[in-house]
Amino acid sequence: MTDETPDQAREWSLAELAAAYAYPKPAAGAPRPWLRANMVATLDGAAQHEGRSQPISSAADMRVFGTLRALADVIVVGAETVRQEGYRPARARAEFAAARQAAGQGAAPAIAVVTAGLELDFSLPLFTSPLVPTVIVTGAAAAPDRVSAARKAGARVVFAGEGVDVDPARAVSALAGLGYTRLLTEGGPRLLGRFVAAGVLDELCLTVSPMLTAGDAQRIAGGPSVAVPCRFALVSLLEEEGFLFSRYSRP
């Protein structure tokens, strides 16, 4: 990732990326939650190739991905993405340790899985060996046996909805109630679409991949449409090897 002419090109340091993607400073009083999304899409709008985002990513995209994770209190993800992408616990990064300590954060962010049915394999490392207990966000009417299995596996279960479905706004509030005010969602598209439709997304970090895939892959956001398109403001735009790294926030 560069900020100079090609013959003077240099790679942005992790400290510079952390500064470029820093969360907004909270106002006086109790900080309100800030929900940002990090997604990648091809030139023709595909958010995945053969069900996974890795084929349309790059080394620079993964550095931004790692930086955004290191800045977050919690990473919010849908159950289908956990299954498809083989999610593991977030790891502690030595290069961000001092900054996280100064910000009052633990060694690594928690993972919060948004799920109605809790159809998850609780024997996976995401539940059995995280540095921070994984959070399950579900509805109050979720199957008691699945809730019990999640808790038995060491997960922390919070309810954010009266039925089995999760209410996006209540999910954000519930996570903030656990002290997680710097939220990062990595999708998938259905979850991001629900956050957009509910009007609770504050920021989108979108990597535009210089690839074409055609086909019928999902966009970065799916689900219900909004009555009026949401207008966001461009905060920053970086480039490396044809990949564009954009950051947009709610005005």
Q: What is the pLDDT tens value at each position of the chain, 251 positions in all? A: 544 444 445 677 888 889 899 998 876 666 789 999 999 999 998 888 877 778 888 888 999 999 999 999 999 999 998 988 888 899 999 999 998 999 888 899 999 999 999 999 999 999 999 999 999 999 999 999 999 999 999 999 999 989 889 999 999 999 999 999 999 999 889 999 999 999 999 999 999 999 999 888 889 988 878 888 889 999 999 888 899 999 999 98
Q: Are 56 and 40 in contact (CB under 8 A)?
A: yes
Question: What are the angstrom distances between the C-alpha of 151 and each of 96, 113, 118, 122, 136?
Answer: 30, 13, 11, 9, 9
Task: Read off the pTM.
Answer: 0.90
Residue 161: cis peptide before it, omega within 30 degrees of 0: no
> In 10 A of CB 16, how many CB atoms?
14
CATH class (in words) of the domain with range 32-46+60-223+230-249:
alpha beta
Tell me 153's DSSP state: T
Distance CA(121)–CA(140), nearest Å, equals: 20
Identify how many contiguous H helices and E strands the chain contains and give both numbers: 8, 9
